[in-house]
Amino acid sequence: MDFDIENPDQMDVEELVPNPIHREPPRIHRLDEAVVNRIAAGEVIQRPVSAVKELLENSIDADSSSISVLVKDGGLKLIQVSDDGHGIRYEDLSILCERHTTSKLSKFEDLLSIKSMGFRGEALASMTYVGHVTVTTITKGQLHGYRATYKDGVMEHEPKACAAVKGTQIMIENLFYNMSARRKTLQNSADDYPKIVDLICRFAIHHISVNFSCRKHGAARADVHSVATTSRLDTIRSVYGVSVAQNLMEIEVSEDDPSSSIFEMDGFISNSNYIAKKITMVLFINDRLVECGALKRAIEIVYAATLPKASKPFIYMSIKLPPEHIDVNVHPTKREVSLLNQEVIVEKIQSAIESKLRNSNESRTFQEQRVDPSPSVSISMSKGSSSHSSSSGSKSQKVPVQKMVRTDSQDPAGRLHGYLQVKPSSQLQGSSRLASIRSAIRQRRNPRETADLTSIQELIREIDSSCHSELLDIVRNCSYIGMADDVFALLQHNTHLYLANVVNLSKELMYQQVLRRFAHFSAIQLSDPAPLPELIMLALKEEELNTEGDENNDLKEKIAEMNTEMIKQKAEMLEEYFGIHIDPNGNLSRLPIVLDQYTPDMDRVPEFVLCLGNDVNWDDEKICFQTIAAAIGNFYALHPPLLPNPSGDGMQFYQRVPSRTPEEGDASKSADDVNKDEVEHELLLEAENAWAQREWSIQHVLFPSMRLFLKPPTSMAANGTFVKVASLEKLYKIFERC
C-alpha cells in the first residue's frame, strides 16, 4: 500500500467514518515498513533547511575547512553540500545510509559524552527515505573517489569510481518527492532559501575557522561567503554587516561550582544603538546550534527593561558545559535542548547581560547623537527616536538577512578578508568612512568621468580586440576538476581535458579588472599601515637572497628612500585612480578590491611596492596606467604561497633538525639529522592554511570570476597557459578496446 501518509484524503474513506449500524472495532494492522520509515524521516528532516543543517554538521564533524552549499528551488529540487573533510571510507559506503549507522557512537554511554555534533546515525538515512541521495567522496591517499546513490536506506548499486576533489559531496535531489502534501505546502510557502542563508550565517559566525559559502543554483555569486579568520567580530561584520558589528559588546561569564552549576559562556550582545524588529539569537551549546526558549525569554526581558528602544537585540552566544549536563535528545532534530541546572545558568547569564547593558547605557548620550553616514547602513534608526515614545520604535526596520550578507561591492567594510581588520580606533574609522563617502559621492556625481580617459578606453579596447574566441569558450564553459600541481589546474571542456596555468590566468584577470574598475575601487583597509621604506628594504633583501648579490645596506637604504619619495609624489593619483592609499607619513594603508571576496597574499606587499618604484613608467599616461595595472595584477595573482607546500616535497622544510646550531646552516642537514617527529607546528599550520585558502579561492573565486570577466588574450593560446592533455573520446575508445 502506498498512500500519502500526510494526506488522509487518499485513505479509504470507509475506514475513517465509523458505520453507526454494525459497529465493530477497527482492525489494527502493521504499517508498511517503508511508510514507518518515511514518517520517521519526515520528523528528522522537516524541511529543506533541516537537511542542510544535518549536512553542515556532518561536514564540520569531518574536520572540513571549507564547506559550500548549492540550492535549487528552495532545496526541493537540489541541495548539494561539498566539503574538504576526511571523506568516507569505501568499505563504509554500503551501510552509510542505513538507519543508526554512525561513526560517532557505539554504546549508550557515548551519548552522554559525545562531542561531535550529530550522533544518532539518522540524518543521512532519513534523507534517503524522502529524497534521492548521491554521495561522492574521496579519502586521503586515494587516487580517485567513489560515487554511490541511495534509496530507502540502501545503496542502489556498487560505488562507481570517479574523479573527486578532497572531501565529500552530498547531493539531495527531489526532496519530499514521495510526500506530496508536504511538498505542496513547502512550494506554496515562501521558499526555504532565506532560511538556509540564515542558517549558514549562523554557522559561519560560530565556526570562524571554516570557510562557508552558499549559492542559489544558476547564480553567479554567493549570497553568503565567509572566509576563515581568527576574529569573530570580523566574521560577524562580514556576514551580518558593519552596522551590526559596530554595535556589539563582548560578554563573558563562567561558573565552576559543582554544587550549583559549571559552565562557560562567551559572546557578543548588541547595545542601545542597535534597533531591529526581531530578536536575532544565535546560540551554540557545546558547539551545536540549538534553541533554548528559557534563555531567549530571559534575555528579551532584560533588554525590554533596560533598553526599551532597543529591545530586540542581536545575540551571539556560545556556552560550554560538561557534556553530561545537557540532553540534546529531547527533540528529534536536536534543536531544543534542556540543561542541568538550567535556571541557575539562565539567571547568571541574565544578570551579566543586565549589568553590561546598564554600564554601557551610561555612556549612551553621545552615541545617540552619532549619525552613521555610511551609505551601506542596513539598519535605519527609528524616526520617532527623538520623542520619548518608549517601545513604539517599531517603525525602524531590519534589513532581511539575505540583504545583510555581503553583496554590495561599494561597501568596503561589509566584507571580510583574512587580513583585513578595520581598526577599532574611532579616529581611523571616522576618516575611512569619510573617504568612502567621498568616493561614493564622486561616483554618483560623475560616474563616467574618469573611465572616459581615452588612455583607459584604449587599454580596454585592446583587451577586447585581442580576445581569443576559442579560449573564451573554454573559460566560460569549462568545469574545474582540481589542482594538478602548484600552478596548473585541471579543467574539462566538452570532451577535452586541459591543464591551465592559474598564475598566468589570475594575473591577466586581475590586470583586466583593475582597468575596468579604474577609479571605482572599494577599499581593503590594512590593520597596520606599513611604512614604505621598510617594505622596500624587505623586498630588496629578498631580491638579494634570490640573486645572491651583496649590495650594501647603505645603498639599499638610499634606493628605498628615493623610491618612497617618488611614490609619495604620486600618492594622489594612486589613491584616486587605483585605490592605493599612502598616508602623508609614507605608510601604505589601503589597497583596492580588484575582485570581490578576494584579498591578495599580504606577503607580497613588499615586492609590489618595489615594483611600483622600479617597473612603472610614470611619463606616458597610457603606459603608466598599463604598468600600474600590471603591477597590481602581478601582486593579486594567485601565486603559490611563499611557504613551501607541506603536502608535497615541501614537508622537509618544516622538519626540525635537532642538533643544529644556527651557524651550521642548512648545508649540514642530512637525512639522518631530521627527526621526523620534530615539526615546526606553527609554521606548518600556517602553510597548510595558506595552501588550503589558495585552493579554495581558485575554485570559488578565480574560476567563477574568470567565467564572468576574463577575456583571454590570443597570446595565451601559444604560451603554455593552456595545455590540452587528453581527449576523453580517444580515452573511451582505448578503454573499449581493452
Question: Which residues contact Mg ion by CB under 5 A?
Answer: 58, 118, 123
Tell the smallest beta-carbon distance from residue 105 to ligand ADP (Å). Answer: 7
Q: What's the rounded Cα separation, in Å, for the pair 318 and 268?
A: 9
Identity of the amino acid at 45: I
Tell the smallest beta-carbon distance from residue 368 to ligand ADP (Å). Answer: 48
Tell the smallest beta-carbon distance from residue 111 to ligand ADP (Å). Answer: 11
Tell the smallest beta-carbon distance from residue 85 to ligand ADP (Å). Answer: 5
Q: What's the rounded Cα separation, in Å, for the pair 718 and 737?
A: 34
| Residue 515 interacting entry, from Mg ion, ligand ADP, none, C-beta within 5 to 8 Å by type | none
**Residue whose C-alpha cell reads 554538521 in the numeric block:** 57
| Residue 62 interacting entry, from ligand ADP, Mg ion, none, C-beta within 5 to 8 Å by type | ligand ADP
Q: Of the two residues 88 and 631, which places its CB atom closer to Mg ion in the complex?
A: 88
**Residue whose C-alpha cell reads 527609528 in the numeric block:** 382
Tell the smallest beta-carbon distance from residue 214 to ligand ADP (Å). Answer: 16
- Member of 37, 102, 226, 374 binding ligand ADP (CB under 6 A): 102
| Residue 210 interacting entry, from ligand ADP, Mg ion, none, C-beta within 5 to 8 Å by type | none
Q: Of the two residues 49 and 532, which places its CB atom closer to Mg ion in the complex?
A: 49
Q: Of the two residues 120 and 356, which places its CB atom closer to ligand ADP in the complex?
A: 120
As a residue count, the chain comes to 738
Tell the smallest beta-carbon distance from residue 202 to Mg ion (Å). Answer: 17
Tell the smallest beta-carbon distance from residue 403 to Mg ion (Å). Answer: 31
Report CA 143 to chain centroid distance, whole Å. Answer: 28
Residues facing residue 154 across a β-bridge? 151
Q: Of the two residues 103 and 429, which places its CB atom closer to ligand ADP in the complex?
A: 103
Identity of the amino acid at 37: N
Tell the smallest beta-carbon distance from residue 120 to Mg ion (Å). Answer: 8
| 121 close to 102: Cβ distance less than 8 angstroms | yes
| Residue 646 interacting entry, from ligand ADP, Mg ion, none, C-beta within 5 to 8 Å by type | none
| Residue 59 interacting entry, from Mg ion, ligand ADP, none, C-beta within 5 to 8 Å by type | ligand ADP
Q: What's the rounded Cα separation, in Å, for the pair 539 and 635?
A: 13
Per the structure block, which three cell numbers stand in for 601?
597574499
- Member of 80, 168, 261, 421 binding ligand ADP (CB under 6 A): 168
Q: What's the rounded Cα separation, in Å, for the pair 534 and 294?
A: 56
| Residue 694 interacting entry, from ligand ADP, Mg ion, none, C-beta within 5 to 8 Å by type | none
Q: What's the rounded Cα separation, in Å, for the pair 318 and 391?
A: 29
In terms of DSSP bridges, do strands 145-151 and 132-138 run parallel, antiparallel, or are they unpaired? Answer: antiparallel
Q: Of the two residues 121 and 414, which places its CB atom closer to Mg ion in the complex?
A: 121
Distances (CA, A) of 573 to 577, 582, 619, 624, 628: 6, 10, 13, 11, 11
Per the structure block, which three cell numbers stand in for 126?
532519513
Q: What's the rounded Cα separation, in Å, for the pair 413 and 373?
A: 13
Distances (CA, A) of 622 to 460, 463, 536, 567, 715: 11, 14, 25, 18, 21
Identity of the amino acid at 153: G
Distances (CA, A) of 718 to 85, 125, 468, 471, 477: 38, 51, 11, 11, 20
Nearest to 60 by CA among 209, 205, 165: 209
Tell the smallest beta-carbon distance from residue 611 to ligand ADP (Å). Answer: 43
Tell the smallest beta-carbon distance from residue 92 to ligand ADP (Å). Answer: 7
Q: Which of residues 40-99 bind ligand ADP (CB under 6 A)?
A: 54, 58-59, 62, 83, 85-88, 96
Tell the smallest beta-carbon distance from residue 45 to Mg ion (Å). Answer: 12
Tell me, residue by residue from 117 to 146, as one string, x for binding to ligand ADP by CB under 6 A and - for no binding. Answer: -xxxxxxxx---------------------
Q: Of the two residues 123 and 282, which places its CB atom closer to Mg ion in the complex?
A: 123
Q: Of the two residues 68 and 436, which places its CB atom closer to ligand ADP in the complex?
A: 68
Q: What's the rounded Cα separation, in Å, for the pair 103 and 96?
A: 10
Tell me, residue by residue from 395 to 424, as one string, x for binding to ligand ADP by CB under 6 A and - for no binding. Answer: ------------------------------
Q: Which residues contact 231 (CB under 8 A, 6 or more apart)?
A: 208, 421
Q: Phi/psi of residue 722, each to 5°?
A: -115, 130
Tell the smallest beta-carbon distance from residue 416 to ligand ADP (Å). Answer: 25
Per the structure block, which three cell numbers stand in for 312?
530586540
Q: Hey, CA dihedral for 257, 260, 266, 272, is it positive or negative?
A: negative
**Residue whose C-alpha cell reads 526596520 in the numeric block:** 397
Tell the smallest beta-carbon distance from residue 122 to ligand ADP (Å). Answer: 6
Q: What's the rounded Cα separation, in Å, for the pair 211 and 351?
A: 34
- Which of the ranges 114-122, 172-180, 277-285, 365-373 carries the binding residues for ligand ADP, by CB under 6 A? 114-122
Residues facing residue 72 across a β-bridge? 78
Q: Of the two residues 47 and 406, which places its CB atom closer to ligand ADP in the complex?
A: 47
**Residue whose C-alpha cell reads 574536520 in the numeric block:** 63
Q: Which of residues 21-40 bind ligand ADP (CB under 6 A)?
A: none
| 242 close to 374: Cβ distance less than 8 angstroms | yes
Tell the smallest beta-carbon distance from residue 54 to Mg ion (Å). Answer: 5
**Residue whose C-alpha cell reads 560517532 in the numeric block:** 104
Q: Which residues contact 584 (CB under 8 A, 6 or more apart)?
A: none
Q: Of the two residues 102 and 286, which places its CB atom closer to ligand ADP in the complex?
A: 102
Nearest to 14 by CA among 29, 26, 4: 26
Count of residues that interact with ligand ADP, criterion CB under 6 A: 23
Instruction: Provide the CB-side half-sphere exposure for 230 (13 A, CA).
Output: 3
Q: Of the two residues 57 and 73, which places its CB atom closer to Mg ion in the complex?
A: 57
Q: Hey, CA dihedral for 192, 197, 202, 208, is it positive or negative?
A: positive
| Residue 104 interacting entry, from Mg ion, ligand ADP, none, C-beta within 5 to 8 Å by type | ligand ADP
Tell the smallest beta-carbon distance from residue 124 to ligand ADP (Å). Answer: 3
Q: 74-103 in b/e burial notation, b at 16+ Cβ within 10 A?
A: bbbebbbbbbbbbbbebeebeebbebeebe
Q: Of the two residues 288 and 507, which places its CB atom closer to ligand ADP in the complex?
A: 288
Helices assigned H by DSSP within 489-647: 502-516, 532-547, 553-569, 571-578, 605-615, 621-636
| Residue 168 interacting entry, from ligand ADP, Mg ion, none, C-beta within 5 to 8 Å by type | ligand ADP
Q: Of the two residues 128 and 178, which places its CB atom closer to ligand ADP in the complex?
A: 128
Q: Of the two residues 125 and 420, which places its CB atom closer to ligand ADP in the complex?
A: 125
Q: Of the two residues 81 and 214, which places its CB atom closer to Mg ion in the complex?
A: 81
Q: Of the two residues 170 and 186, which places its CB atom closer to Mg ion in the complex?
A: 170
Distances (CA, A) of 374 to 69, 311, 410, 430, 592: 31, 24, 11, 10, 18
Name the closest residue to Mg ion (Cβ): 118
Tell the smallest beta-carbon distance from residue 702 to ligand ADP (Å). Answer: 24
Q: Which of residues 249-308 bind ligand ADP (CB under 6 A)?
A: none
Tell the smallest beta-carbon distance from residue 123 to Mg ion (Å). Answer: 4
Q: Of the two residues 159 and 267, which places its CB atom closer to ligand ADP in the complex?
A: 159
| Residue 702 interacting entry, from ligand ADP, Mg ion, none, C-beta within 5 to 8 Å by type | none
| Residue 243 interacting entry, from ligand ADP, Mg ion, none, C-beta within 5 to 8 Å by type | none
| Residue 199 interacting entry, from Mg ion, ligand ADP, none, C-beta within 5 to 8 Å by type | none
| Residue 131 interacting entry, from ligand ADP, Mg ion, none, C-beta within 5 to 8 Å by type | none
- Member of 77, 104, 660, 669 binding ligand ADP (CB under 6 A): 104
Q: Of the two residues 109 and 729, which places its CB atom closer to ligand ADP in the complex?
A: 109
Q: What's the rounded Cα separation, in Å, for the pair 50 and 47?
A: 5
Q: Which residues bind ligand ADP (CB under 6 A)?
A: 54, 58-59, 62, 83, 85-88, 96, 101-104, 118-125, 168
